[in-house]
Amino acid sequence: MVKSNVFRQLSLLPGYIRLSLLRIAEDKIQLWGAFATSIIGIGMYVFFWNVITYQMPVLTGVGWVTWGRAELTFLIGVTESAWGFGAFFWMGVWEIHWHITELGLEQFRVRPASSIFQMIAQQFWAGGLLQVAIGIVMLWLSALTFGLVIVPINVLLGALALFLGQAALYILWACLCCLAFWIGRNEGLLEVSDAVEMNFARMPIDIMPFGVQYFLTFVFPVIFISTVPTMIILGYLSLQSSLFYIGIAGGLALLWIVVFRYLWARGLKRYQPVGG
């Protein structure tokens, strides 16, 4: 039964992606907005790291690798791609608390598919794919400009680390959203976590103090959407280290899935419909 439901939901993915494309076609200005935001963000950070590396050619700190202009530019591309994929795939997570407190869960609960799957799939945002494309162009340009050597296996491992890390991060957000069953609207909490991601994702996290590194690895795993995939793709981590990090990201994703399922099941029993 569970297996058949999973397959049925996977079979719905093309339909939801189609809806997402139609939605973006209805609202082209949003697409242009995403494009502009992406370009401005990338431009600003390229400028920022250029200024820094002009003063200090490499950043070492307490990190495992030295970060020069090439690696930092590559990092910006990885982060942009990660955010693009996040915006495409995980945008719906942001609205879970909103559905619990304001919009209602009814529309998801009366359809024969997982409520969470629907909440996420309904918000697939095709504009995120544009961001992914911009990020990939950025990666390609930085590899070309700085003569970086990219090995396909490292790309695969890096992408896997990124995917699992991002899943861990967004499912953690979903857990925070679930708290809305008990505490009501909690945008403030999500704003804080968003700020952590926004501010740390474009930084090489391994140059920071150990405490911050641990926090951004095990508590709020931002490291997996920027620093770790960059290091893996650039071949700065051995295969064992890469697999170790992938294991941590997968473990965290699994942990947060378990926590989320528990919170969702408990919270749903407390759910009070909006407006009757």
Residues engaged in binding another protein (CB under 8 A): 5, 8, 11-12, 15-16, 18-19, 22-23, 26-27, 104-107, 109-114, 122, 268-269, 271-273, 275-276
| Residue closer to another protein (CB basis): 240 or 272 | 272
Cα separation values, 50 from 46, 73, 158, 167, 176, Å: 6, 9, 25, 31, 36
Closest distance of CB 273 from another protein, Å: 6
CA distance 147 to 150: 9
State the minimum distance, in angstroms, from the CB of residue 78 to another protein: 31
Residue closer to another protein by CB (options 27, 194) is 27
CB of 104 to another protein, least distance (A): 6
Question: What is the CB neighbour count within 10 angstroms for residue 199?
Answer: 10
Radius of gyration for the alpha carbons in the chain, expressed in angstroms and rounded: 20
Tokens of 10: 């996977």
Least distance (Å) between residue 173 CB and another protein: 23
Dihedral of alpha carbons 5, 9, 12, 16, sign:
positive
Comparing CB distances to another protein, the nearer of 109 and 214 is 109
Q: Which is nearer to another protein, 125 or 163 (CB)?
A: 125
Report the alpha-carbon distance of residue 117 to residue 93 in Å, rounded: 10
CA dist., res. 262 & res. 65, Å (int):
39
CB of 11 to another protein, least distance (A): 6
Between 150 and 189, name the residue whose CB sits nearer to another protein.
189
